[in-house]
């Protein structure tokens, strides 16, 4: 991810757990990147009102379910939340 960021690429990171999203947010915010994080800890209701504008400002968009849901359906919905990508590369 760091290599992609230094090349000016934007990153979308999905996680089924909240804690990793907080760790990535801290790591990359500390490195000076603009990180937008949505999870059960950070609801960010104001950012969500204008999510397209807010997400476009981010170098990294990080999100997880806001509740304890960890079903395959919930993950599938998360995968399709961002619909337009510049790259077809997906890392799991």
> pTM for this structure?
0.72
| Ramachandran angles phi, psi of 11, nearest 5° | -125, 140
Q: Which of 65, 82, 15, 53 is nearest to 25 (CA)?
A: 15
**Tokens representing residue 28 in the block:** 């990359």
Distance in angstroms (rounded) separating the CA atoms of residues 15 and 81: 13
The single-letter DSSP state of residue 8 is: T
Distance in angstroms (rounded) separating the CA atoms of residues 39 and 17: 9
Each residue of 28-73: pLDDT tens digit? 999 999 999 888 777 677 777 777 788 888 999 888 876 666 677 7
**Residue 85 neighbours by CB under 8 Å, 6+ apart:** 12
Q: Residue 46: its pLDDT value, please?
A: 74
Distance in angstroms (rounded) separating the CA atoms of residues 17 and 64: 6
């Amino acid at each position: 991810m760091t290599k992609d960021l230094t090349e000016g690429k934007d990153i979308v990171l999905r996680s089924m757990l909240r804690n990793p999203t907080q760790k990535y947010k801290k790591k990359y915010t500390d490195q000076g990147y603009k990180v937008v994080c949505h999870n059960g800890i950070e609801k960010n209701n104001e950012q969500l009102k204008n999510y397209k504008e807010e997400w476009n400002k981010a170098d990294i968009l990080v999100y997880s379910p806001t509740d304890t849901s960890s079903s395959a359906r919930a993950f599938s919905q998360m995968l399709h939340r961002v619909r337009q990508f510049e790259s077809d590369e997906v890392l799991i």
